[in-house]
Structures are given as C-alpha cells and as structure tokens.
Structure 1
C-alpha cells in the first residue's frame, strides 16, 4: 500500500515537473496562449452575435415536457449591434425569437449595473451592480461593504489580464487543435485571418484540469504572483466583512482576530495561501476522479462524473488577426443529460457566432432614458424576484406569456422535513411540530416563495407582501391575531420567536400567499406549492 502511494506521489511529482513548461503551445505559427489572453486587451469594439438553442427531448418525456422543449428549441437571441465603449460600459440591441414571437430589447451595462428596455415592460428594468455580483441573492450589507463590492468590479477588470495570462500559460492544449488560413467577411470587409479550430469533450477536460493544477502549483513564483493579485482584489472586501461580523463569542472573536492578522499582512497571506494550495493540490488531483464519481448534481441522482464524459463536447472556431485578436468566433456546445434527469430533456445543443470590428477604436455606446422611472428587479430584501419581474409586465405581452405561462418562472415549491412532535431534533430553517400544528420559519419560507418581508421592531410585527396577487399579511409576535388584506385572521398558534427566527402555523402561509400545502406521511415532510 505504501509502495503504491509512493509511486503515485512520484508520478504526480514527475508530471508536475514535465508540465512546468506546459501551457497553450504555439500551433501552425499561432501563439494559442496569446490568442486566449488577447481578448482582455480589447478595450472597445462594435460587433454582432447570435445564439440559438436546440433542446432534444427524451423518448420518455411526457407531452407537456415535449411541448415546452419544442418551444425553447426554437429560441434564438440575435444581437444586431453591440457597442463596447470601455471594459465596464457597453450596450446592445437585438431581439429574442421563439415560435412566431419576436421580442425586441435594448441593454445597457454601466459599471456592472444593467438597464434593460424590452417590449412588454412600460419602464426600463434595472439590476443593480451588487445584486448582479451576488447572483441576485445579495445579503444586507454595511455601507462600507457595499462600497467595496462596487469597487470590486473595477479591480476585477484590472486583474483579469494577469489571471487570464496565468491560466492560459499553464493550461495545456486539447488533443484536437488545428490552425489554417481563412478569408472571412466582417462588416462588409474581407479579412485574411487564421482559423483556430479546437474540440474538447468532458473526459478530456478533467485530464486537462489535472495537468493545469499540477503545472500551476509547480510554478511557485507565478502562483504567488497570482495570489498577490487575488489578494489585492478581494482583501479589502474581506476585511470589511470581518469587521461587520465581529465575534458572537470570545472564541469566534479570537478566530476573527487571527484571520485579520493574516489578512492585514499581504506577504503572510500570500505565503499562507500558497502553502495551503501546495499541500492540497496533489491529493486533490489524485482523488479527483473518485470525488467526481461521488459528487451529486442537484436532486437528479446524477454525479459530476456522469456529466464529464465523452457525451459532452465543445467545438470552437476562433478567427484571429495578425495581432492575435479574435475577430470572429463560432461555437457548438453539446450537453447530453444523464438518464436520471427529471425534465424530459435528453440533450442540449447551443450554437453561437459573433463578429467584431472597430476594435480598440473610439466607440460611443447607446443609452436608455430612465427619466420616467424604472422597474427595480430586486425586492426590498436584496433578492432577485421573478414574481416582481412578471407583475411589472403587460399581461398581454409576448414576454409575460413566455415567462409566466410557458416557462412558469413564478411557480415555487419548497419541501421541508418535519420532526415528530415528541422529537427534540431541530432543522436549521426547518419546521417543527407543535402538538399537531406545523410551525414554519416565516422569513425563510416567504422569501423562497418570492414574497417581501418587513420587520417592525417597535410593534414586533411582520408584514408579508405577495407580489403576484398583491396580498398583504400582518402578524404580531406572541399573538394569534393577524390580518390578511385588512381582514382578521386567527392563527392556530401564536407567532413565536425560535432561535432568532419568527415561526407561524403553515396554514397561515398557505392562505395568505395563495399557496397549497401537501403532507407526505412516508417522508415525514411538508411541501408548499405556489403557482
């Protein structure tokens, strides 16, 4: 056993030495690494692009699933004109087409905030920068934290060339990589370019990632330089986060202080991160196949190993000029879903094509007027709300029909385990049984159902607003009396505070939010459905 482990470690060590000079190597006179990193040297351009989606239904899919998949398979996004004025400012106009529907739109990106003007909405839809950066699940932040998060986007732009150069410098070439001359038409101009063609499948990607990690960690100086860039990128925000969290106990305060000691010393932080990476990369690579085979994706029962196989493929054509800048690209991505996938889909195929011109020339992007107000996509708790988006649209519009009726983005379902009444077991954010009445955490459940919640500390009251119906419910801690749309509502049990969370009977949630509740005796769980 020890001999086997020694051989494995020796093999990984020798591999890392041989890969030190690895990276995207020149092919046919074209520096592939330079091609991959050149996109970050583009500061402005005008361009166009198109993306189409093909969804292949499984033979066992039910009629409704096949109907939806057929609808989405006809979907295309056409960007007629994209204008990048700077790395943080751009605009695009185009349309979304599916079936017989055509939905024009215009999008402006300014310092990572997004303004969307689209048919069906009477005002521009706005997504603020810090919600976009947090994937729409933005927590409540202090003013200093939000300022740092907004500055993060600019720091990220500045750091991207270094990060990209490091990755492309160590990432090996795929097995299928060819270069040949090509003549293409871009904006009515005939250009003689080099066509770089590469193909990659899921199983090869795993091998390349292993090689990249070993190559990267063997390059001590390069890795430390990268970590220094990452430190400058994230340390200011982390420091503010640690200050705002503080310590809820002497032990946690001590942990915070120790972390800040490292964080306040850049050299110490970089050394600490490098040593941690060096100690863990080789074992991680050695166990990666086993980890992927055991790691599940969602609730389908499939693992990452089932996704990263030869049935997943990428074909990419890059048309590059003499300066190694990509002027045109064409992509085909095929994802074959495991048989356990629950949505009736067998495979997903995405194809795209884009062209760029006026590269690094003065470009003035388009603008969208917000003088008559906007629609904020985020709700008051800082979360993206599909319900709020849908209710802001014209019910007769194609976009409303697509989102509400066909894609059903407002449909919500939550399943929570319920311990028996005699049990002392407690599930975080979970319900509990109070002598036959299921009590649920009001904030967690209502936010999962896309509602807005406000807390009035002085009155000890919670107000819940359901965007789709406009229903407003008000309840008071330690009281059975509540109101729904101004009408009295008597709770089975009083709203109570449990470990910092307000709990209410589940029937109140169902009736105040137009939801339905189902009980599973077999699973001992409760499911809340909201259409």
Structure 2
C-alpha cells in the first residue's frame, strides 16, 4: 500500500488536540490542558495495552499471532520524573503467561533498560551532536530548552484557543480516590469523545479560526524569531553578531512578511479543504475507513483544584481498511494513569551500568547468539527468545545460479563473507598469517581457514575440507558450502531444482 495513503495518521494524532478545548460547564479546558506543560517533576503509575480485533475467516496462524499481541500489556508501577532530562520507571511487561519485570533510567547521556534475567542492561546512548553537523563543536541544544519549551507552549495555546469542542464533552465535579492520597480528592472529571468523521469536520473551522487570529500568529512568529536570535547569539560563529543585529533591527518586518505567507497558506488550505478531502477519499478510499465513525477517541481526565491531572485514561480505537493480507479490522490502545507529587521533590532511580552494557546502537551486540548469552538460560525471556520466537532459527533458499555460489570439481562453494553474514557469525582477517577466522554466533566456536589450503581448524581441532578455499576475481574467499556451514551449526540441503537450502534450528 502506498505510504501516502496513510496521511490519516497525523490526523488521528490531531484528534487528541481537538478533543475538548473551549470552556465546558465553567471549566476552562484550554487553561488546564496548557497547565500540564508546566509539570517539571512528578511520580505516576500507568498501564498500557493494545487490542487487535480480527476479521472473520482469518487463518489459525493469524489468530494465534493476534491472541499473542492481545496478551501484551505494560504496567508501570512507579515512574519518577525528576526533571525534563532525568527520569526512571519500574514495571512489568506482560506477554501471554509471562510477567517480565523491567527497570529503566534516562538522563542526558542515554537510557538504560534492565530486564529481569539479563546479565547486562541494554543502553541507548544519546548524542546531541548527531544531526548537528556544521555547527560549532560543543554546541549544546539543551541550553535552549527553555526557549523551545516556551515556543511549544505558545503554539499549543494557539491551537487550543481555536480548536472547537467535539459534540460529546462534559465536565463534572467528582470525589475520587487517587494514588498516594489518604482521603478522597475533589476533582473535575473532563470526559470527551471524538469520532474520525467528526475530526474531519472539525479541522476546517479550526483552520478558519486560526487564519483569522493575526495577533496570535504574529506572537508565535515573533517568539520563533527571538529564539533564533538567541541561538545565533550563543553559537559564537563568525558573522553571528551581524545576524543577531539584523534580526533585532528588522524583526517587525520579518514578522509581517512571515505572517503574510502563513496567512496565505492557511486561507488556501481552508478554501481547498472540502475538495482536498473529497479527492483524498477518491484516490485512497481506505482512508475513509480510518476516518470513519468507527474510529473513536475517548478520554477521561481528572483535574485537582490546582489544575493538575491526577487520573487519566484514554481509549483510541482505529478502524482499518479491508485490504488483502490484513487480518485485523481495528486496533485499540488503552492507557490508564495516576499521578502524585506533581512539581514536588522527586529523585529518579538509577540502573547499574558499572559492569558494562549492551549498546543498542551496535549491531554486533544484537545478534541472536549475543542476545541469548546476555540472559540466564533459566529466565523467562531466554525461553521466549529461543523457544517461542526462535531467534536462532535460520532458513534460506539459494537458487542454482546464486551470485555468491559456485561449483568446482563437484563441490559447491559459497562466499565466506556472505555465509558468515547469513549465520550472524563474526569474520576476522589476520594479515600476518593470511588466515580467516569465523566465530560461530550461537556456540562461540572458531573456525580458522586460509585460501589454497584444505586444512582448517575448528575450535582447536583439525578439520579437513573437501577442497581448498579460493579467492575469486572479486576478492571474495569461497569455501566448501556444506562443510563450513555444518561447522557453524547449520545444514545444507540440495533441492530438486538444483538450488540449496541453508537451515539452522
């Protein structure tokens, strides 16, 4: 399916922004929603689950996969947000009959994830310099986080100001139990529902109202220019003083010019909206299913007297088009959360990384064998990975005239580099001895061989090859396919059409 047909995805996300923004029953929805952006620290619990609704007549295999996915949920027993940059969480990943505890912690350097049964935590390093090529060495985007946060809040306020309410929305006073409170708490319960077809109808008046707000748009543009000026000033580049001076001197002109362009495109979007929607539906009728009455967002937020969200739940159901190969007619994401100690003193937990980590950015540390070796053989995750998911299993068929396969003297040869790659094995070259060493990904056994010699070594023991490996005209070392594959724990079977199947259980 062409990716452009999923243009509906950002519209689904917009449902959240358009679900109740004007005052309801005396409750200022916009003000209270904006207040959530001022939360710097808090503690919370949360549960997230996904549900797929199968179509009728699907295969047993598809049903089993759907049942497995529907069994998955995540329970966060306690999340601690210490600041915008430091946070932690402890919880459990539920899969079928397994309950898999986890811990994670993040800071400016990266995020560490400890899974029960893992010998080392997994780690995702954050490199703020990535994507900043051409900027001065040592440029720190975190310095401007307040400018970005303020600009985001201004943009959000502008959106919320003009977002119309859906037809189903209410605000009522309730008294509820909240995590961490001894007594029940007085809360305002904001309930809203928005359907996919209603979303389509609400976007046009939203754009219309936004296009009329000259002051609001100019304020946002002005703030963006100020942030640009601050960044230019802090970069200490040659000519940055001139850029800063020009932005200051010509700010009003720049704001007016930018506003004129934004206004032009907003007016054009409004004028062409109805035709654009009709054209979209005509070209991609499946989007009409996604944005139908069967796609529904339901939200329930409970605000305390300070405007803090103490409890919240969302249920987003998205209808899917009936296309070939898609056994699901809809999916739902359900979340439930409670918060306390909002903007109080919070200290995030740490994950111990003193004994090393598995870097998720390094492919060599993520092979099936390396993954299994990081878990205790008796742990549930090891059993899931090896037996349920079968991550070590391999099976691939090669046609008779495969580019990296050749036949010499009745022996089928295969390019060693390609074979090692197929089996996730590590390949090393020793220039001094002119030998290749292959390290089996699953067992860790080593196979050493060289061009022109039938004598190889498998984990210290001699291994005689049926024919000597050779280097082809492309510089690849070719080895006897069946013998070397078996040394690496796989089997090679000749097929009736002359091709071969490489398999590892």
Name which of structure 1's ranges 278-287 and 91-100 shifts more when overlaid on structure 2. 278-287
Q: How far is the alpha carbon of 1:406 from its aligned partner?
A: 4.6
Contact 1:112 1:153 in 2 (8 A): no
Counterpart Cα distance in 2 of 1:234 and 1:303: 44
Give 1:139-178 correspondences, 5 Å limit. 142=133, 151=142, 154=145, 156-157=148-149, 159-178=151-170
Moved more, 304-313 or 211-220: 211-220
> Superposed, which structure 2 residues align to 1:449-468 within 5 Å?
none
Q: Which residue of 2 aligns with 1:350?
A: 333
Question: Is the Cα–Cα contact under 8 Å of residues 105 and 113 in structure 2 kept in the other structure?
Answer: yes
Query: What aligned pairs does 1:23-38 form with structure 2 within 5 A after superposition?
Result: 24-38=21-35
TM-score (norm 2): 0.66
What's the CA shift for 1:85? Answer: 1.0
Matched, 1:87 2:93: no
Instruction: Give distance in 1, aligned partners of 2:424 and 2:256.
Output: 44
Residues paired across the two proteins, number? 446
Q: Which has the larger radius of gyration?
A: 2
The aligned counterpart of 2:344 is 361
Q: 1:262 to 1:371 in 2, by over 3 A?
A: same
| Counterparts in 2 of 1:315 and 1:234: CA distance versus 1, 3 Å | farther
In structure 1, the residue matched to 2:283 is: 294
Counterparts of 1:39 and 1:317, CA distance in 2: 15
Q: Give 5+ residue unaligned stretches, structure 2.
A: 1-18, 397-401, 405-416, 431-435, 493-501
Distance in 2, Cα, partners of 1:384 & 1:293: 44
Q: Structure 2 vs 1, CA of residues 319 and 280 (structure 1 numbering), >3 Å: closer, same or farther?
A: same
Describe the SS at the equivalent of 1:86: coil
Q: Which residue pairs with 1:55 in the alignment?
A: 52
1:374 and 2:367 correspond: no
| Match among 366, 381, 386 for residue 399 of structure 1 | 381
C-alpha contact 1:127 1:378 (8 A) present in aligned 2: yes
2:314 maps to 331
Secondary structure at the counterpart of residue 164 of structure 1 = helix
- 1:127 corresponds to 2:124: yes
Secondary structure at the aligned position of 1:310 is classed as coil
The residue aligned with 2:411 is none
The 5 Å alignment of 1:388-467 reads: 392-394=374-376, 396-402=378-384, 406=388
Q: Deviations over 1:88-132 (max 9, x none)?
A: 2111111112332111111112137211111131111111224xx
Matched position secondary structure for 1:287: helix
> Following the alignment from structure 2 to structure 1, what is the Cα–Cα distance between the partners of residues 369 and 244?
40
SS in 1 for 2:22: coil
Q: Which residue of 2 aligns with 1:248?
A: none
The SS at the match of 2:82 is strand
More deviation, 70-79/388-397: 388-397
**Is the CA contact (8 Å cut-off) linking 2:314 and 2:335 kept in structure 1?**
yes
1:394, distance to aligned residue in structure 2 (A): 4.0
* Matched-pair contact (CA < 8 Å) for 2:300–2:314: yes
Q: 2:297 aligns with which of 288, 298, 314?
A: 314
Superposition CA RMSD, Å? 5.8
In 2, Cα distance between equivalents of 1:160 and 1:199? 25
1:181 to 160, 164, 173: 173
Name the counterpart of 1:198.
192
Q: Is the 8 A contact 1:81 1:92 kept in 2?
A: yes
- Segments of 5+ residues of structure 1 without an aligned counterpart are 1-21, 244-260, 296-301, 415-430, 434-441, 457-461, 497-501, 517-527
Taking the aligned partners of 1:152 and 1:69, their CA distance within structure 2 comes to 45
Conservation of the 8 A alpha-carbon contact between 2:369 and 2:443: no
Deviation string 1:10-29 (CA, Å, 9 cap, x unpaired) is xxxxxxxxxxxx99211111
